């Protein structure tokens, strides 16, 4: 077998490293292209949000005011439930106090 000199071995290792480096460079380029295409929607969206932001700041309180004035059956039911729960709590406290009159008397 022929022996390989150290210079030839270093030259082969250098070419191998250059080839690996080129492969890594191409991989990074492909990933960068994928990243750019995946995030292409971000700048237009941010720009649109920046334009719409002042309008949203005005619209939200106005919408809340307008929707708050509207009476819906669901709001009526929710109001009745809350009133019923409040009444039930008061009645429960009264019932407990009437059943145990000694516990409420304090010296």
How many domains in the chain? 1
Measure the CA–CA gap between 58 and 56, rounded to whole angstroms.
Answer: 5
- d(CA 27, CA 23) in angstroms, rounded, equals 6
Count of residues making up the chain: 107
Render pLDDT for 37-56 as a digit per residue (tens, 0 to 9): 999 999 998 888 888 888 88
Q: Check: CB of residue 29 under 8 Å from CB of residue 35.
A: no
| Residue 84 placed within a domain | yes
pTM of the model: 0.43
Q: Is residue 25 part of a domain?
A: no
Quote the domain boundaries for residue 78: 72-100
Per-residue pLDDT tens over the stretch 7-20: 999 999 999 999 99
Q: How far apart are the first and last CA of the chain?
A: 111
Q: Does some domain include residue 96?
A: yes
CA distance 92 to 86: 10
Mean pLDDT of the chain: 86
Contacts of residue 103, defined as CB under 8 A and 6 or more positions apart, other chains included, come to: 97
């Amino acid at each position: 077998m022929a022996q390989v000199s150290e210079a030839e071995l270093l030259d082969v290792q250098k070419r191998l490293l250059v080839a690996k480096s080129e492969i890594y460079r191409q991989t990074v380029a492909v990933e960068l292209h994928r990243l750019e295409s995946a995030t292409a929607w971000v700048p237009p969206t941010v720009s649109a949000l920046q334009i719409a932001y002042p309008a949203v700041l005005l619209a939200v309180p106005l919408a809340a005011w307008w929707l708050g004035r509207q009476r819906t059956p669901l709001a009526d039911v929710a109001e009745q439930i809350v009133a019923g729960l409040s009444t039930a709590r008061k009645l429960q406290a009264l019932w407990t106090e009437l059943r145990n009159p000694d516990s409420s008397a304090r010296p």
